[in-house]
Amino acid sequence: MYARFKSFAKRILAGNRTVLVVTLWTVVIAFVIIEVFWLKYETTARLKTYDIIYTRYDAPGLQALDVLVLVVASLLFSLLAYNPVDLVYGYLASIFLSFCIGVLYVFLYIWFVQGHGAYFSANPFDWEVPLYFAMLNVFRMMFPGVVATCLIGVAIGVFVRAVLPYKFQSI
């Protein structure tokens, strides 16, 4: 069993390293977005009591630990990328995919956890309202906070790779 798992991991890392890096990067960014949204809506009494879908002044935002996690993850994933083309496309793909995952989570949170599914399922296209507010919630968390933070981590990783080019060739 161990030998099979080891050969599977070696095959995945050897052939699809870029896909694995983009997938892990997407998961980290999406988990940070989900954590920020969930903590804000579960710890703020006003948002939890009145089941507010979207608010302007109690908005979920990144904290210092979230920024640190994103910078370190972006730094590590930029060191693991093969070339700059994979890094740029991987960055764009991970930002887009994590935005989609975040919107899906916030939509399902509004629909099921807050219980607004009963209100928005009465008419045929009422599901668009919580989807729109989910996109607004995630958009204000991601731009410019997450996008700029990940870009800073990538820039640091590219700089480290340029200074020490032979250290990361065998990773």
Q: What number of residues does the chain have?
A: 171
Is there a domain that residue 4 lies in? Answer: no
User: Has residue 66 been placed in a domain?
Assistant: yes
What does pLDDT average to over the chain?
A: 87
CB 21 within 8 A of CB 80: yes
Inside any domain, residue 5: no
Of 155 and 51, which is predicted with more confidence? 155
Does residue 61 sit within a domain? yes
Tell me whether residue 50 is exposed, middle or buried, using C-beta atoms within 10 angstroms of its C-beta: 0 to 12, 13 to 18, 19 or more: exposed
Cα Rg of the chain (Å, integer): 19
Residue 35: domain span: 26-163
Looking at the domain assignment, is residue 85 inside a domain? Answer: yes
Packing angle between helix 84-108 and helix 128-141, nearest 10 degrees?
A: 130
Query: Counting beta carbons within 10 angstroms of the beta carbon of residue 126, is it exposed (0 to 12), middle (13 to 18) or buried (19 or more)?
Result: middle
- Within a domain: 121: yes
pLDDT digits (tens, 9 = 90+) for 71-88: 999 999 998 887 888 888
Cite the DSSP H helix spans in the chain: 2-15, 17-43, 45-50, 64-80, 84-108, 117-120, 128-141, 147-163
In this predicted model, what pLDDT tens digit does every residue of 28-60 receive, in sequence order?
999 999 999 999 999 999 888 888 888 888 888
